[in-house]
């Protein structure tokens, strides 16, 4: 861990965990702050400590999520979670869920069971209430008419965290 200031970026996440700000992902350009076709999607995790106004680059291990933008990030029981997003270089929307443990510095991909994963998307909103993660909206290349039995995703209320921890499903 060193004093490293992250490069300017857009569409990243900035999430508070234990009094520090964790910044993940986002898009920046090789050439400079003006957008060109030289996009770079960052897969590094930065931490800002407001007590001493310092930045650190986390040397994380495990199943590290690939760089992306327009994903959701949230905290639950002292861990950071990343869901979905988009990478234009890969031309790919994600519907994956990752967990970062700040005590072990390990990333872990979570594969929920019991319900189908939400369709790949970006620009969605996720929040946690009482051990449940709820997801709303987003932009997806897949229409709900492609998956008529999943039309509930228009309202999209997913409880991926609870299912992982308890194995239960609910409607």
pLDDT in tens, 25-42: 988 877 766 666 778 889
The count of structural domains within the chain is 1
Is residue 23 one of the residues assigned to a domain?
Answer: yes
Is residue 115 one of the residues assigned to a domain?
Answer: yes
> 94 with 120: CB under 8 angstroms?
yes
pLDDT at site 57: 95
Q: Is 124 exposed, middle or buried (0-12, 13-18, 19+ CB in 10 A)?
A: buried
- Residue 152's nearest CA partner among 129, 128, 135, 132 is 135
User: Across 75-84, 85-94, 148-157, which has the greatest mean pLDDT?
Assistant: 75-84
Instruction: Quickly state the pLDDT bin for 122 (edges 50, 70, 90).
Output: confident
Q: Which two tokens stand for residue 58?
A: 């986390």
pLDDT at site 169: 45
Q: Where are the beta strands (DSSP E) in the chain?
A: 13-17, 20-24, 27-29, 39-41, 45-49, 54-58, 61-62, 72-76, 79-87, 92-101, 106-110, 125-129, 132-136
- Domain of residue 125: give its range: 13-166
Instruction: Quickly state the pLDDT bin for 66 (edges 50, 70, 90).
Output: very high
Is residue 8 one of the residues assigned to a domain?
Answer: no
pLDDT at site 170: 43
Q: Is 19 exposed, middle or buried (0-12, 13-18, 19+ CB in 10 A)?
A: exposed
Beta-bridge mates of residue 99: 81, 108
- The enclosing domain of 23 has a CATH number of 2.120.10.80
Instruction: Quickly state the pLDDT bin for 132 (edges 50, 70, 90).
Output: confident
Is residue 64 one of the residues assigned to a domain?
Answer: yes
pLDDT at site 73: 93
pLDDT at residue 156 greater than cutoff 60: no
Is residue 1 one of the residues assigned to a domain?
Answer: no
Is residue 4 one of the residues assigned to a domain?
Answer: no
Is residue 104 one of the residues assigned to a domain?
Answer: yes
Helical residues (DSSP H) of the chain, grouped into ranges: 160-166
Is residue 93 one of the residues assigned to a domain?
Answer: yes
pLDDT at site 118: 79
Distance separating alpha carbons of residues 151 and 155, to the nearest angstrom: 8
Instruction: Quickly state the pLDDT bin for 102 (edges 50, 70, 90).
Output: very high
């Amino acid at each position: 861990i060193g004093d490293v200031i992250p490069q300017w970026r857009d569409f990243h996440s900035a999430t508070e965990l234990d009094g520090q700000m964790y910044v993940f992902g986002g898009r920046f350009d090789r050439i400079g702050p003006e957008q060109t076709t030289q996009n770079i999607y960052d897969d590094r995790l930065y931490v800002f400590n407001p007590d001493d106004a310092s930045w650190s680059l986390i040397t994380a291990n495990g199943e590290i999520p690939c760089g992306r933008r327009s994903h959701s990030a949230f905290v639950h029981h002292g861990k950071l979670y990343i869901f979905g997003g988009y990478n234009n270089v890969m031309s790919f929307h994600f519907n994956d869920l990752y967990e970062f443990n700040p005590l072990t510095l390990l990333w872990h991909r979570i594969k929920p069971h019991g319900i189908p994963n939400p369709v790949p998307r970006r620009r969605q909103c996720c929040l946690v209430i009482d051990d449940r993660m709820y997801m709303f909206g987003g932009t997806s290349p897949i229409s709900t008419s492609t998956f008529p039995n999943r039309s509930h995703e228009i309202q999209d209320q997913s409880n991926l965290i609870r299912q992982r921890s308890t194995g239960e499903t609910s409607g």
